[in-house]
Amino acid sequence: MDTPSLPDLSPLQRRKRFAILDGAKTVFLREGFALATMDDVASAAGVGKQTVYRHFKSKEALFVGLVSEMCAQVGALLASTQGEQTDGAPEVELRELGWMLARSLITPDYLRLYRAIVAEAERLPKLGQVFYENGAKVVRAYSAQILRKRFDESTAALRAATFINLVLGDAYLELSIGFTVPDVEARFALQIDEAVAAALR
């Protein structure tokens, strides 16, 4: 990604970078990648367009940066939940992880982000790579870490992938393509129950 690493930025530059990413989130998730402009992002961020270009060399680089940042937020939430369960039972930890994941990814912002990624991934291969490495791969790693309490490493990795797919299931697919899902909490409750049972079977 054509951006300086955060340790190289001054406090003012960091604030501007985060303002740019906030502005990019507003614009990209409202307009989609194709219709978003760097002028719109600069206006939403309250900075000049040249400031945006100093941090992100292109609209593509900015979008990749936004995806990376939003994935990092989910990763930070995952990290904050580790070790909070009292008994450490895999059933408890998997259920907590399933609900955290479902409730995060079905928010309007993350659904819009997913749609935008799918729309642009073929044209911007870096985008799909960043989303996988910082999103899906991280979540699977957390799942596998829990499952290693019960299974060997290769089995835990395989079941982690199955667990995530079952947690999201048809309800997430329907939401991601714009369907209204009645009783969405109940749908995810059933999917998470099945995901936990299948992972530990």
Over residues 151-163, the pLDDT tens digits come to: 999 999 999 999 9
CB of 164 within 8 A of CB of 78? no
Q: Which of 21, 39, 57 is the last residue of a domain?
A: 57
- The reply to whether 114 and 19 lie within a common domain is no
Show the domain range for 50: 1-57
d(CA 156, CA 60): 36
- The reply to whether 122 and 30 lie within a common domain is no
Give per-10-residue mean pLDDT for the chain (201 aa). 60 91 95 94 96 95 94 84 66 95 93 92 90 92 95 97 96 94 95 97 92
Q: Which of 17, 40, 57 is the last residue of a domain?
A: 57
* 37 secondary structure, DSSP code: -
Name the CA dihedral angle for 47, 72, 118, 166, rounded to a multiple of 10 degrees: -150
Task: Measure Cα distances from 167 to 15, 117, 148 in Å.
Answer: 36, 20, 19
Give the model's pLDDT for residue 11: 85
Q: 16-33 as b/e, with b when 16 or more CB fall inside 10 Å?
A: bbebbbbbbbbbbbeeeb
- The reply to whether 100 and 178 lie within a common domain is yes
Neighbours of 3 (CB within 10 A): 18
- The reply to whether 113 and 26 lie within a common domain is no
Q: Give pTM, 2 decimals.
A: 0.83
As given in the structure block, the two tokens for residue 164 are 């995530």
